[in-house]
Structure 1
């Protein structure tokens, strides 16, 4: 059984609702509070439902160590030490209060991914409306339980996770009290190749785990997110920057403001286009019904003359008999003179419809 609607900051999310679009700031503030506030404003202007940040310090997420595993090998951050990278990318905790206040004034929801219990405590003190568990933290069941115990809506990304790990995380969240639960399909590559996305997982995830399913999208562009909405994703998260040219730890795979606005528009358009099962004519087609084909007199016919392929044709517009009656009409006689260009009806045909 699938879950009912979730709600974040009063906004319903799930079946029958437009996709919830989240702009992920991550470290794209480039260490400047003013830029962080500008990112919030730009996301609001682009129509995003929410902005997401990350709440950690280098010391709460890793160790200041250079041993095996503490230096990144390959990818966008090749050669960087984890502690160094996170020190650059983190959002200082004393920024959080002004950022939440700015988001309220801008009319956009702000929430965060906490990475330890102290981060949850900080966010609780600021009235954060929801929590997000990042893909790399999905195996941290104590953190999941701590976030779920707040009673806030909980979003969890599943990059790299096996079905057993996802089931364990969902069970931990629900066991600790999570009710508004959204699970995101994710490919933890930066950027993620289109061929790696496997978006067909989305409906399977929703059915298998009984959750609302969405997408955390690290691809370049917006196509994957729009396709995800067509497959039922109710929640879309995408990294966001003011300008890729300005650099930043995540800028290479982040959307700029105009692209974020296009993402919002395209995702909501895709959702609107899904509609329900329907066969025409629909309301939007009503004005064109008269342009379908029908039977017309293509050469003047005298009363008593036989109707043939030489004087009856199937043409546009659609004001005569339907073309399916063509064979039934041929070989019968006209009941009156019929001028060229007149739509055919049964009163003009000897014997009428019953004949």
Structure 2
């Protein structure tokens, strides 16, 4: 599949999405700086979240609308989303800024009105957040645009993922990527379970990546080594500045390291191979081989005093040592001579 001009999938470098989320901290200038920082760090795309507090929840004070435990303990859902949302009136400016600096930008819509709004802006792709994976009408609305669709699977069981993929395909989606995700904020590396990536690819026949909420880059790099084609990671200008997601977000230099190391993991993956690579050919001559380590006269019998397995590798292979010992030298040989088959009979 392709987002904008970038090919995504097997054989292509991992597609790195820098998730802005609410790390703009309510300042459009900071949002613009985040876009620039993502470009400078080498990310392929910046992702927004398109909702308002009123499109994602309701302003209600009952206990079920409160968050208990974790990073946002004690917050009311409405208040958290009011603080974290990216104002819709910013979107065109941010899309224009991304175009100016040369980085792809798209978003996660959280209700049908957000899809319509993003279509007006020419969004090249859509992301379904983990908590919306069970909102099949929203998935069908997104799929009907014909744009590539990326869906996170945090908190979802196998059946729910199957329903989401089926809904997307039935509504016309042809380009689908699933992101394995653990919806913990932050997620301990021990709960990332990235071995799930291969299972998802086999089960659903689509490309699979990772939405990573761990505190570092190691899990993402390991996921690329397992074949993840997309990596999504939250990022911020500085964790010290605070913000709703800053605690588990990467700073610019860390995002740059993520891009570098994910690309390195991709390049290292390669294909199964037992033939010497170009790099190995330069060192193959330093393997062990049989050498004359004591002068020997023609007709004299080789003993362990005359021949040994040593480095470098210009003589015959050490596996022939038993054939050499007890045989006779066919010519005079000096100390340091690499042994050849013609030297013994």
TM-score past 0.5 threshold: yes
Q: For the aligned residues, what is the CA RMSD?
A: 0.7
Distance 2:55 2:223 in 1: 33
Report the counterpart of residue 120 of structure 1 in structure 2.
Answer: 115
Distance 1:47 1:115 in 2: 27
Q: How many residues align?
A: 345
Residue 231 of structure 1, CA deviation: 1.1
Report the counterpart of residue 160 of structure 1 in structure 2.
Answer: 155
If the length of structure 1 is used for normalisation, what is the TM-score? 0.96
Report the counterpart of residue 247 of structure 1 in structure 2.
Answer: 242
Distance 2:175 2:341 in 1: 62
* CA deviations over 1:38-69 (Å, ceiling 9, x no partner): 00000000000001000001111110111131
Report the counterpart of residue 81 of structure 2 in structure 1.
Answer: 86
Residue 301 of structure 1, CA deviation: 0.4
2:204 pairs with 1:209 = yes
Report the counterpart of residue 104 of structure 2 in structure 1.
Answer: 109
Report the counterpart of residue 3 of structure 1 in structure 2.
Answer: none
Distance 2:290 2:190 in 1: 51
* CA deviations over 1:261-314 (Å, ceiling 9, x no partner): 000011110011000010131111111111011111100001111111011011
Query: For 2:8, which of 5, 13, 28 is the aligned residue?
Result: 13
2:321 pairs with 1:326 = yes
Q: Mapping of 1:51-200 within 5 angstroms? A: 51-200=46-195
Query: For 1:316, which of 311, 318, 330 is the aligned residue?
Result: 311
Residue 240 of structure 1, CA deviation: 0.3
Residue 105 of structure 1, CA deviation: 1.2
2:253 pairs with 1:258 = yes
Query: For 2:38, which of 37, 43, 46 is the aligned residue?
Result: 43
If the length of structure 2 is used for normalisation, what is the TM-score? 0.99
SS of equivalent residue, structure 1 residue 198: coil
Unaligned runs of 5+ in 1: 1-5, 351-355
Distance 1:347 1:68 in 2: 90
SS of equivalent residue, structure 1 residue 336: coil
Report the counterpart of residue 262 of structure 2 in structure 1.
Answer: 267
Report the counterpart of residue 19 of structure 2 in structure 1.
Answer: 24
* CA deviations over 1:192-220 (Å, ceiling 9, x no partner): 11121111110000111111111000011
2:205 pairs with 1:220 = no
Distance 1:21 1:126 in 2: 22
Report the counterpart of residue 276 of structure 1 in structure 2.
Answer: 271
Distance 2:87 2:294 in 1: 84
SS of equivalent residue, structure 1 residue 34: helix
* CA deviations over 1:139-167 (Å, ceiling 9, x no partner): 11110000000001000001000111110
Distance 2:327 2:174 in 1: 71
2:293 pairs with 1:298 = yes
Unaligned runs of 5+ in 2: none
Distance 1:319 1:13 in 2: 46
